[in-house]
Amino acid sequence: MFEYVEVLEKLSKQFGITGQESRVARTILSEIKDCIDSYEFTPLGSLIAVKRGSSEKHPKLMISTHIDEVGFVVSNILEGGFLRVNPRGGVDFKILPSKEVVIHSSDGEILAIFSIIPPHLLSEEDKKKPLNYDKLVLDTGLNEEEVKKRIKIGDPVTFKGEFLRLNGNKVSGKSFDDRSSALVSIALLKELSYFKNVWDVYCVFSTQEEVGSQGCYTATFKINPDIGIAIDVTIGNQPDIGGSFEGYKLGEGTAIGVGPDFTPKIVKDLVNTAKEEKLNYVMEPMSRPGGTDAAVIQIARAGIPTALLSIPLRYMHTPVEVIDIGDVKSTVKLLLSYIKRLDEKYLEELKWS
């Protein structure tokens, strides 16, 4: 039996900041190598895993999940051995004071914390102001000489983030955006080994999504799929969002994107598949594909029929992201059931409207 939580924990703990995802890709390859027909790494580091289908025409379904995580890079070494950092990917500096991080240096991993000014030293006016990257520093506990010897400008920094099993099916940790979706593709490939799919299935574990989806864009150009489905995370419900949008409830299934960027037939067939299989799902209205791999899949080459499936996630881009494992399993079941419906006629029926 596939151990969803154990594999997610392994993926979550692995270092894979944007642009340096090779450890994550190798970890994924070790999980799937026995259930795929071939694999390759692109020049930008994305892993492409292929499960061949039975059709002699070889129609291609591409499923893309990114494997990079947000983080930081060391930008300056200050007097006393303190460090300045710049973000890599979208990290809100308001969450950073007192957070634990890991500096990945050539001398090994070095623990550090983001500084925080004690409330006793803050004026009433300062208490209302969030710190920014010009004020925040990292403290490693090392003196200036040791820091300069062991740490270099450009060294990557990631959240430390503990993996926690919460109540029910919920788990918490870092880099669930988007390692929870990579988990979907891993489990899907395991399931595909039990039956013969008609279409060729290409699972892309893409790089650099957090800075523009370059890994997916180049992989899509290389594969030239007939259909591309991106899997990512979306805003999960939490009490402090505000406004009319409260996020999507964890445990209520996959969010199926609907909007001008997603091919109507694919969206309709995914919805019908979910209904027929009695799978939990919600609709996610979107005026644009947002910062996901779907944005670049759709416009690759002459245009690729595209869809987006998303897993509700709380506290995005923090070291305490939360998902419900049941939503991961629902996404796997939805994709597996959809793939079973892909026959040789499907490609002829695939029109925009």
Pairwise CA distance, residues 171 & 19, whole Å: 26
Please say which residue of 159, 190, 219 terminates a domain. 159
What's the order of all strands across the beta sheet hosting 164-165? Answer: 164-165, 170-173, 321-324
Q: Please check whether residues 194 and 329 belong to one and the same domain.
A: yes
Q: Please check whether residues 40 and 55 belong to one and the same domain.
A: yes
DSSP 260-281: TTS-HHHHHHHHHHHHHTT--E
For 257, the domain range is: 4-69+174-349
Q: Please check whether residues 248 and 314 belong to one and the same domain.
A: yes
Q: Domain for residue 164, yes or no?
A: no
CA angle 73, 76, 81 (to 5 degrees): 110
> What would the pLDDT profile of 160-214 be if each residue is shown by its tens digit?
989 999 998 999 999 999 999 999 999 999 999 998 999 999 999 999 999 999 9
Pairwise CA distance, residues 255 & 281, whole Å: 6
Q: What's the longest Cα–Cα distance across the chain?
A: 72
Q: Domain for residue 300, yes or no?
A: yes
Helix (H) / strand (E) containing 75: strand 71-77
Q: Domain for residue 165, yes or no?
A: no
Q: Domain for residue 86, yes or no?
A: yes
Q: Please check whether residues 116 and 265 belong to one and the same domain.
A: no
In CATH, what number is assigned to the domain containing residue 327? 3.40.630.10
Pairwise CA distance, residues 77 & 272, whole Å: 56
Q: Domain for residue 195, yes or no?
A: yes
Which residues carry out catalysis?
209
Could you tell me if 58 and 47 are in contact, meaning their C-beta atoms sit under 8 angstroms apart? Answer: no
Burial of 150 (0-12, 13-18, 19+ CB in 10 A): middle
In CATH, what number is assigned to the domain containing residue 110? 2.40.30.40
Q: Please check whether residues 151 and 295 belong to one and the same domain.
A: no
Q: Please check whether residues 101 and 223 belong to one and the same domain.
A: no
Could you tell me if 162 and 9 are in contact, meaning their C-beta atoms sit under 8 angstroms apart? Answer: no
Q: Is the pLDDT of residue 131 over 90?
A: no
The model's pTM: 0.94
Residue 167 corresponds to which amino acid? Answer: N
Give the chain's domain count.
2
Q: Please check whether residues 142 and 49 belong to one and the same domain.
A: no
> What would the pLDDT profile of 273-326 be if each residue is shown by its tens digit?
999 999 999 999 998 777 899 999 999 999 999 999 999 999 999 999 999 999
Q: Domain for residue 166, yes or no?
A: no
* Residue 93, CB-side half-sphere exposure with 13 Å CA sphere: 16
> What would the pLDDT profile of 236-262 be if each residue is shown by its tens digit?
998 776 666 778 999 999 999 999 889
Q: Please check whether residues 141 and 179 belong to one and the same domain.
A: no
